[in-house]
Amino acid sequence: MKLPKTLVEHFNLHRCIPWCGAGVSVASQLPTWRELIEQFIRACEDAGMQEESIREIKSLEAEEAVEVCRDFLGENEYRNFLERVLGAGAALPNVLHDKVAKLPVPAILTTNYDRLLETAMANRTGRIPRVLTADDTQSLWKAIAKEEFLILPRDSLRELSVRGNGHKARGFRPDMRGRSG
């Protein structure tokens, strides 16, 4: 395959940033983003969420659906769910993670919910890479030419602490009748 000349030039100057989604981790036996959302919804169904609320969640954008499920399940069940689905750290980086980690790029943009890219980078460099989110824009610009790092535009699945009271997805709140805690 012949690549555009300007792309090759920018790559050689370390001016390219690859985008890696959940598909990178499928070979490590982890679900795609869509599969993860479906599993979140099933967990809410199993926990007693009403059918009407399930239909509403299915109409939401993926990130909003995750936040509603997280609010409904509660922090402990949310953590337990992620440990079950992600194998509590049992998944290992695959060949694609390793290849991406070896690219001569200033950063990697990822929406991954796992930490396999970080693990692959740490295996290569001997140190844990810095992870920047949308909240770190000043640090991002300072770091861009100084070190390798990952950019995480949305970190709703990685941030395990409770964020605020309730959910802001189009004003939607699941029916919590019959739920304790």
Higher pLDDT: 132 or 169? It is 132
What is the structure's pLDDT at 167? 39
Residue 163 pLDDT exceeds 50: no
Give the bridge partners for 149, in sequence order: 107, 130
Q: Report how far residue 115's alpha carbon sits from residue 142's, in angstroms, rounded to the nearest whole number.
A: 23
Residues 140-144, mean pLDDT to the nearest whole number: 66
Give tens-digit pLDDT for 76-127. 998 888 888 877 567 899 999 999 999 988 888 888 878 899 999 999 999 9
DSSP 30: -
Helix/strand/coil for 167: coil
**Angle (nearest 5°) at CA 178 between 171 and 155:** 45
Mean pLDDT is lowest, of 49-53, 97-101, 152-156, for 152-156
What is the structure's pLDDT at 164? 31
Contacts of 55 (CB under 8 A, 6+ apart): none
**What residue type is assigned to position 71 of the chain?**
D
pTM: 0.66
Q: Report how far residue 173's alpha carbon sits from residue 165's, in angstroms, rounded to the nearest whole number.
A: 11
Contacts of 164 (CB under 8 A, 6+ apart): none
What is the structure's pLDDT at 85? 84
Mean pLDDT is lowest, of 46-55, 101-110, 111-120, 161-170, for 161-170
Radius of gyration of the chain (CA): 19
